Amino acid sequence: MTLVGLAAGAVLAVVAIFIPWLPEQGSRQAELVDNAYWMVTIICGAVFAVVAGVSVYAVYKFRAPPGDLEDGSPIHGHTGLEIVWTVVPIGLVFAIAIYSAVALGQAEDLPDDHRVVEVTGQQFAWRFTYPDIKLENGQPLSSGELVLPIDQTVEFQITTKDVIHSFWVPEWRMKQDAVRGITTKTVVEPTKLGTFPVICTELCGLGHATMRSQARVLTAAQFQQWVREQRRLASQGGSVQGKELFVQNCGSCHTLADAGTQGQVGPDLDNALQGEDEEFIRTSIVDPNAEVTQGYQPNVMPGNFGDTLSDAQIGGLVDYLHESTSGGGG
Ligand code: CUA
């Protein structure tokens, strides 16, 4: 049995060490969270091994011989053992609590030069607003994708327009619910360049699985470039801005050849909008329940683009969709 145990332990150890169990670490917080996670996992593994080992040993060692139908000898209590199995778990629970509290404190440490990004969830999309970056019209910069410069700490201020959602980028580890009526917060310092998924991790309705966006971490110079580009697009209006808006807000759910998007959640707009007039397109955006394309009931498209996009933005989007699906322009 010892040999079997050792062999099984060796196989498990190899598997445990060589499988990358967690996503890559994309933030300063990731290492803190992972260390706490592994500490708890190792403690649980050790407790399991001791309890399972003693149980298996006792079953084997004290089993009744064949034909023995007598009662076992009466045993009652063992004060020493009871003290041990009370004190040891209390010590472990305190160790986990203190370690986690210290890690959380370090994770949420907010330097003076941090950036604030407002995160708004709605069925079934994310919106990211940069209150410190103003556009020409005085409105803050707002985007359907999350773009951040590397190595700058961000405080996310999170809320929702409807039901509870939860904001999560696995590579950053930090996760926070979006709750209507309050603003929840979480802190992240991205330390790795690249594109990472933004996931809604609270079951929020039919479109929950599609409630995804992306987080792009850029160098400081690339980030400034992106901000300039957003300013330029916002001041331009019209169908050029419409295309950009479409890619950011609609492309993950809708296919549109002109924009190069391939979303499968909603209708293929090359077909669904073909030959439709501007009024139909506008209604489809601001009141998607008015007429739902055959095969896409019940409707899962957010009903509040009329609130989250400005009139100029919706105008640009309508112009763009009309041009790109009418067969003429584009
Ligand atoms: Cu929003 Cu799930």
Cα separation, 47 vs 84, whole angstroms: 13
- Ligand 1 centroid to Cα of residue 81, in Å, is 48
Q: What are 182-231's pLDDT values in tens digits?
A: 999 999 999 999 999 999 999 999 889 989 999 999 999 999 999 998 88
Residue 129 CA to ligand 1 center (angstroms) comes to: 18
Structural tokens at position 216: 């792009």
pLDDT at site 7: 92
The reply to whether ligand 1 has any atom less than 6 angstroms from the CB of 141 is no
Which two structure tokens, joined as six digits, stand for 55?
């149980």
Tokens 């300063």 belong to residue:
28
* Mean pLDDT lowest among 105-114, 156-165, 316-325: 316-325
Quickly state the pLDDT bin for 177 (edges 50, 70, 90).
very high
Whether the Cβ atoms of residue 172 and residue 26 lie closer than 8 Å to each other? yes
Residue identifier of the C-alpha nearest atom 1 of ligand 1 = 165
Q: Decide: 121 in ligand 1 pocket, CB within 6 A.
A: yes
The confidence score (pLDDT) of residue 237 equals 61
Residue 321: exposure state from Cβ atoms within 10 A (0-12, 13-18, ≥19): buried
Task: Check pocket membership of 161 for ligand 1, CB cut-off 6 A.
Answer: no
| 88 confidence band (pLDDT: 50, 70, 90) | very high
What is the gyration radius of the CA atoms in the chain, in angstroms? 28
**Looking at the predicted structure, is the pLDDT value of residue 139 above 50?**
yes
Q: 204 CB less than 6 Å from ligand 1?
A: yes
Look at residue 235 in the predicted model and tell me its pLDDT: 73
pLDDT band at residue 243 under the 50/70/90 scheme: confident
Residue range 292-316: average pLDDT? 80
**pLDDT beyond 50 at 330:** no
Ligand 1 pocket residue status of 202, Cβ below 6 Å: yes
b vs e for 283-315, b when ≥16 Cβ sit within 10 Å of the residue's Cβ? Answer: ebbeebeeebbeeeeebbbbbebeebbeeebbb
Dist. CA 99 → ligand 1 center (Å): 31
211 lines ligand 1 (CB under 6 A): yes
Q: Is the CB of 233 under 6 A from ligand 1?
A: no
Q: Could you give the percent of the chain with pLDDT greater than 90?
A: 52
Nearest ligand 1 atom, CA 201: 2
- pLDDT for position 329: 42
Give the number of the atom of ligand 1 that is nearest the alpha carbon of residue 208: 2
User: Rounded to an integer, what distance in angstroms lies between the CA atom of residue 325 and that of residue 261?
Assistant: 14
Structure tokens at 84: 């041990």
Q: Is the CB of 119 under 6 A from ligand 1?
A: no
At 255-278, the pLDDT tens digits run 998 888 888 888 999 888 888 888
Q: b/e for 71-85, b at 16 or more Cβ within 10 A?
A: eeeeeeeeeeeeeee
Q: How confident is the model at residue 96 (pLDDT cuts 50, 70, 90)?
A: very high
Q: What percent of the chain has pLDDT over 70?
A: 97
